[in-house]
């Protein structure tokens, strides 16, 4: 005859079983998250296959129409936490995002640092990979300016080091010194990996060679790249990244919202984006958007998830779409864990080629 089990013993047994199930689930989640990571170039830094761009956090001009308030602050915080909860841990910011070098005002680096601190207070084990950038401003000369700017960024981020430090764009007055500064930052233990942004093939090779002489890999080149802006393919930058083992980080991967289907010729974006994605261009874009939508329906995916998956499928590409709120961050995560067919990838590229390319930013191809 079985002995009776007391309610307290059953309760203890149940608690232990629940804890064991949670531990196994947590371990499986950690393993899955590790599988979804890639090494950034030749560095030892591993990042999720998709990151989050924080350009709009604290912005008072390009994205938010000269207005930043508590509502947008809460939304950005929600985007950060939703990304972490969805397994996306790479966040890309810069010292010039938000306000110009954050002179007394809110700045993307400051906000990201705050979000990280608040999250770690609740969960000290949470992993966050931070990438930020040095601004090649006219008054900054030599290698020392890079390390000095990095230390200022670290203060805003409230961190002792960052995972990836990038030159935001090539200057025309001291690029060799800037590259030396990146190397110094690595040797001083202030960064785990270094990269560049908006570098053309020639500058990319020069930076790679200069760092290689110091035994430091050039981990990444961050450029504007999307289904409708494929200049990195056409200019040789993508091929050079693949050849040298440099990861291509794609900013504006959904063409600043133009590829999501949100905007139409009757409802174009406002602000500076409206001058790029005009009603005329959006009219030409409709056949491509219609096909993106159809393909997405076959996978139960949104147009945004399809175009992000298209980029990931190019290999050696890490898209970093900008998330303003939790809903966008969750949607971005849906681009992971599946893949378009080779035929669909080729079809979308062909359709996109029939659309006149959009104009990029002036810093590109310098």
Q: Calculate the alpha carbon distances from 213 to 45, 100, 101, 178, 180 in Å.
A: 20, 34, 32, 15, 11
Q: What is the DSSP letter of 59?
A: -
Q: Which two tokens stand for residue 199?
A: 């570098």
Integer Cα distance of 342 and 288 in angstroms:
17
Does the annotation mark 178 as catalytic?
no
Q: How far is CA 204 from the centre of its chain?
A: 20
41's CB contacts (< 8 A; 6+ apart) are 193, 195, 217, 218, 219, 220, 245, 246, 247
R_g over Cα of the chain = 22
Q: Is the CB of residue 85 less than 8 Å from the CB of residue 133?
A: no
Closest CA to 32 of 334, 340, 319, 337: 337
Distance CA 320, CA 323 (A): 9
3-state secondary structure 116-166: HHHHHHHCCCCCCEEEEEECCCCCCCHHHHHHHHHHHHHHHHCCCCEEEEE
Query: Can you count the helices (H) and strands (E) in the chain?
Result: 13, 10
- Name every residue whose Cβ is closer than 8 Å to that of residue 228 and which is 6 or more positions away in sequence: 255, 258, 259, 285, 288, 352, 355, 357, 358
| Virtual torsion, Cα 353, 332, 314, 171, nearest 10 deg | 80
CA angle, residues 113, 73, 159, in degrees to nearest 5: 0
What is the H or E stretch that residue 43 is in? none
Among residues 205, 194, 72, the alpha carbon closest in space to that of 133 is found at 194
Out of 62, 97, 165, 225, pick the active-site residue: 97
Q: Among all residues, which ones are annotated catalytic?
A: 97
């Amino acid at each position: 005859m079985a002995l009776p089990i007391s309610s307290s013993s059953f309760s203890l047994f149940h608690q232990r079983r629940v804890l064991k199930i949670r531990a196994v689930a947590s371990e499986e989640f950690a393993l899955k998250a590790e599988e979804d990571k890639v090494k950034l170039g030749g560095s030892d830094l591993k990042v999720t296959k998709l990151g989050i761009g924080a350009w709009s956090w604290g912005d008072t001009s390009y994205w938010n129409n000269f207005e930043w308030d508590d509502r947008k602050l809460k939304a950005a915080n929600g985007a950060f936490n939703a990304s972490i909860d969805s397994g996306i841990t790479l966040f890309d910011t810069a010292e010039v995002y938000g306000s110009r070098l954050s002179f007394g005002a809110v700045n993307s680096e400051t906000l990201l640092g705050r979000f990280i601190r608040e999250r770690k207070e609740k969960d000290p084990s949470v992993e966050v990979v931070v990438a930020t950038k040095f601004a090649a401003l006219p008054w900054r000369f030599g290698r020392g300016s890079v390390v000095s700017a990095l230390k200022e960024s670290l203060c805003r981020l409230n961190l002792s080091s960052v995972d990836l430090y990038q030159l935001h764009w090539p200057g025309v007055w001291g690029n060799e010194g800037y590259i030396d500064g990146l190397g110094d930052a690595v040797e001083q233990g202030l960064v785990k990996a270094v990269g560049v942004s908006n570098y053309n093939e020639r500058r990319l090779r020069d930076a790679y060679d200069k760092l290689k002489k110091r035994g430091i890999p050039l981990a990444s080149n961050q450029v504007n790249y999307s289904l409708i802006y494929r200049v990195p393919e056409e200019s040789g930058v993508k091929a050079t990244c693949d050849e040298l083992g440099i990861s291509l980080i794609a900013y504006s991967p959904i063409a600043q919202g133009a590829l999501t289907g949100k905007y139409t010729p009757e409802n174009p974006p406002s602000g500076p984006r409206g001058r790029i994605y005009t009603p005329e261009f959006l009219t030409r874009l409709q056949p491509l958007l219609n096909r993106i939508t159809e393909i997405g329906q076959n996978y139960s995916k949104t147009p945004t998830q399809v175009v992000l998956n298209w980029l990931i499928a190019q290999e050696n590409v890490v898209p970093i779409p900008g998330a303003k709120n939790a809903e966008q961050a969750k949607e971005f995560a849906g681009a992971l864990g599946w893949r378009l067919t080779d035929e669909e990838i080729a079809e979308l590229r062909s359709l996109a080629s029939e659309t006149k390319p959009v104009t990029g930013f002036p810093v590109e191809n310098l």
